Every structure is written in structure tokens, then in C-alpha cells.
Chains A and B, each alone.
Chain A
Amino acid sequence: MSNAALIFRYRARFTKAGALRYTGHLDLLRTFERMLRRARVPIAYTEGFNVRPRLQFAQALPLGFTSSGELVDLWIERCEAPAALLERLRASEPPGLSILAVWPVARVYKESLPTLTRSADYVVPLPSPPADIISRVAALHARERIERTRRDKGYDLKELLEALRLVADDEGARLEMRLATREAATGRPEAVLDELGLDPADLRIHRAALLLEGEAAAREEAAGARARA
């Protein structure tokens, strides 16, 4: 029998790469559950008829994207030192999944991870950038509105595009962008690429970070520091 008083919430940051990038949201849930089982970490389960492990991702990663900044909340039926929990999870990771950090979420914080999520950073390497890519990016910056339609609804991509820059250094050329990921206001990097005249099918999109609402982010940084200490 589950007892709310004995359930502890942890937040983890993880990467998704390799074959795992073709794993959808539900399959990722199952992948996490199995990792926790292998680690013998007692995950809590939802109550009711359809019992599921208590896990919540910040935001689903589109099929085919890789990421080094995914976030998940886990509810566990035991209080664990974050460092020990991290170690056990790391020993049980499947290929393509790597847990970067784990920290506790104090019981006073009730907000769910998806509602805290504000924006996402994406990196898109450009192995063979078009000659006029600089002017294309500049043109996009110059536009006041970027009208698009998705599922028969019009929206302004400009409002969702919080930052966009072209970087070229030793690692090659790439686009870095920050897009809003608020509820009902989620920017899609493919849309940005499309506006730049680039075919998303030719490119690999990587999510570098998910950014939480300011206060939560600061609080977590502190908790993360404590956990590491």
C-alpha cells in the first residue's frame, strides 16, 4: 500500500542519444522504469486501476532529436542520498541514456515539472552551411513577425524565438537557438530551420538544455550544489 508520507521526489537531468533518440515518450517511460528496476530503486506507482510508475518528464523530446539536458521527476518509496542514487542509476543505464545529475525536490514545492519549464536551448550543427547563411539569419532577426500555421492555427514564431545565433568555431558552424516551451506556447526548431530555408531532414537537432522558471532554477542550482558537496 502506498503512503504519501513515504514518497520522495527527485529531479534528474539526463541525456538521450544513440538509438534512444528514436524512442517515443511512452517508450522512454518504460525505459526509465526498467532502469530503476535494474538499479533496485523502489519507484512509487500511481494508484488506481491502471498502475503506472510515478515519473514525469519536463517536455517530450521529438523523435529523432538528441539531448543533453532532459529533465525528469521521479517519486521513490525511500529517502536516498542523491549521490548514492546517482551512482546506482548510472550503473544501470541503458545505451543512449546517461544520468548527469540527481537532486531532491523538497515537499513544499508543489509545481509540476512541465509547468515550471519555460524554454529550451537547441543546437543544430551545419556541416555544409549555405553561402548566404549569415544574411538569412540576419533577415530572420530583422523580421517583426514570423507568421506560420500549425494544425490549421496561425501563430507568430517570432514571439516564441527567444534567441538565435550563428556560431562558427573549431567545432564547425552551428545554429544555437532558444525557444519558448510554455504551455500552449512551444516553439519548434524545425520551424526556425524552415524559415531559414534549411531542410530539417538534412540536419540533426540537439536539445542542450531545458530552462525552468527563474525561482525554481535558482533553487535547484542551490540544491544541486548541496548535493554535490
Chain B
Amino acid sequence: MFYKLVAKFLFLFLFFLVLSCSQKGDNSGGRSTITLVFKHGKIAGDPELFRQIIDRFEIENPGIKVKDEVLPASTDEQHQFYVLNLEGKSPEFDVLSMDVIWVPEFARARWIKDLSHLLTDVERSDFFPGPMQAVTYRGRVYAVPWYIDAGVLYYRKDLLRKYGFPPPKIWQELVTIAQSIIMREPDMYGFIWQGKQYEGLVCNVLEYFWSNGGDILEEEKLVLNSSENISALQFMRDLIVKYRVTPPLVITAIEEPTRHIFGNGKAVFMRNWPYALNIFEREGSAIKGKVGVSALPSFPGKESASTLGGWQLGINNNSRHPEEAERLIRFLTSPEVQKALALTVGYKPSRKSLYFDKDLIRVQPFLIQLHDIFMKVRSRPVTPYYMMITQVIQPEFSASLSGIKTPEEALNSAQRQIEHIFQVEK
């Protein structure tokens, strides 16, 4: 009786297995049409607009269908999805969009294809140097920059003009301006940024390190607890407790809450990514026409710096259709499509030439300013160790912002832990 039951189950199981296999066969055998799967994060704005761009690719490339599949919203989850599927050698997707910090890791693990042949030297020079550096690992190019992001300083043009201040170039100037404006404007914060324990915190902190001449790695050498970094981190803590221009709420803030506060006219300065500009300039915005953007300030005698963000396109090493996938990447990173994306959803092109495009500038005049900022953008350490490094430094930065540790203690502790990590390959 028991064995009969097992046999029946086995039979059913096999039956369905055969059924599902034969169905698959039917699909792929249909008139030599191949289907590319493109995985990416949610595209801002109306998804229909992006679909129209994909449709254009399908018309230009008969025989290729593109299925674009949206990943979960949080980048951590996207990273996890890629890791599990790429390590499992899944051929279920061909083109993937990657955060700028993942490329060396994925390249080191041989999860993505070498795309060096896709970009000639001339073409490479059309992309901003920051993202180009970020997609290059050991001299080879593993992805093509799709769109670019960078930390910028937002300021209230109207208020600065009212009280007679120019946009600050030095951090200390920002403090002075913020202090004097919030004294005279009630219910306003001076300067807000992102201080929650997450990847964005690292982006924020690095901008202070760099603009004080510090860094995390210098030629593969770990220099995290340098005096430049310690005093830069101390300055961030001082913004909250000593100068009192930054409210303690930044310790839990990510991009959107700060964007809301600034968007409601409640802050003089904000550090954020350029995406907020399009929102502030929308009809009905409380601060429409009152927002200025500039490069972030620096410490005296040092260079301003902003952290590179943005997304890059690469090809799954187990893709069954690498040539078609290359065509899709070429298409999506072409000047025409980048321009269309800039116009429809406000993504900032990774190609420099577009910042001098007449149509684009007419609609988004601030692009000219962004060009100069993007030219100086710096990438977080380009190393396959990055994901491990960031897991160590996030809580340490957070500890020193919330006052549990002094900046020196926090950076010393992080330095020790990362030195331990660097031994893993041995």
C-alpha cells in the first residue's frame, strides 16, 4: 500500500517534470527569437516611459525581446539577490545594473564578463573619469557606467541673498552662515545630511575625509586612522554638538527624510544626491526657484570632493546570449538613450558630452554646474574588499557621531578590524 502510494507520487512528479520541460522547449524554439532578461532597481517616475525606451531597442533589433525585471527597492537586497544567483551560476538574467561599489567584487569573483572590448579609448574618454575608474578592476573594464550620482550641497539661494552671504567654499564658512541664518529665521535647521548607520553614511563621511586631504586606502595601504580623518570626523560631531547647526535627527536620517525637511523649507543647507533637484523645481514645491546647488565645501587649503554614486551595466558570466546583451548595454548607455532618461526620469548621464547638449540644458540648466562637480567626483575604495570594509566602518562612524566613541577610538578600532580582514586572502 505504502509503496504504491510512493510510486504514484513519483509518477506524478515525473509527469509534471516532463510537462514543464517540454513547455520550456516550446518557448525558446519559437522562430529564433531570444529573450534577454535585464535586472535593475526601480526606475524613478513612470515605468511606462522606460518601457518605451526598451520597445525602441526591440524595434531596432528584431529577434531580441527584452524582459526588464525590477529588483527590491533596497540596495542591500539587490546585492543579496545578485550574490546568491551569480554564485549559483544562474543563467536566468543577462544584463544587470550594479551599484558603483559592487563592480570590483563581482569582477574578482568572476561573476561578470570582461567588457573591455566594448569601449574604445576614445569612447572611454567621453565618460566621467570617476565612474570609469570604478568599473575598472586590474586594468580591465567590467561594466559600462549608466548614470552618475554625486554628493552635492543644496542651499537656499533666497536666504543667502537676503542675509548677504555667498555660497560657502569652506566648511567653517558654512557653519558661520548657518548659525547666523538660523538665529534670525525661527524653526529652521542649519545643515542636514545623512547619518544613519548605512551605506549613505560612508558616502557622507568620506566627503569630509577627502576634503581634509584624508582617505581610507592610499595605494592599497590602509590609512583610516590618520590625523586628517580624525579631525574631519570630529568636525562632523561638532556640527551637531558644538556648532549646533545640525540637528541630532541626522543620526537616523537617510536621503528621503532630509529631502522632505529641505523641501518643506525647513533647512538652509543640505547634502544630498542631485535627484532632489528635479523634485524641488516641480510645480507646487515650497522652495521652487529658491534652491542653489554647489560643490561641497572643503577644509582650508584642501580640495572639495564628492562621493560617486550611480549605476553601471554589466553582463552575467553565465548569460546564454552575451552578444545580444552587449548590444543592449551599448543601446542603454548610448548618448541618445542617456539623454532620453535625463529628460524623462532625471537620471544624470554618465557621458560628459551630454552636459553641453542644447536641448538638455534648456530644460535643466543646472546640468552645467553638475558637470564640474561630476568631474571631481571620487569613488569609494575600488577593491573587492569594499563590502567588508563598509560593514566595519559604518558602525564605527555611527558610534562617533552619536558620541559613544571619540573619533580617534572609532577610527583606531576600525583600522584594527580591517587589518584583520586584509589577512583573509593569506
Q: Do these two chains really belong together in a complex?
A: no
Binding site for A on B (CB under 8 A): none
Binding site for B on A (CB under 8 A): none
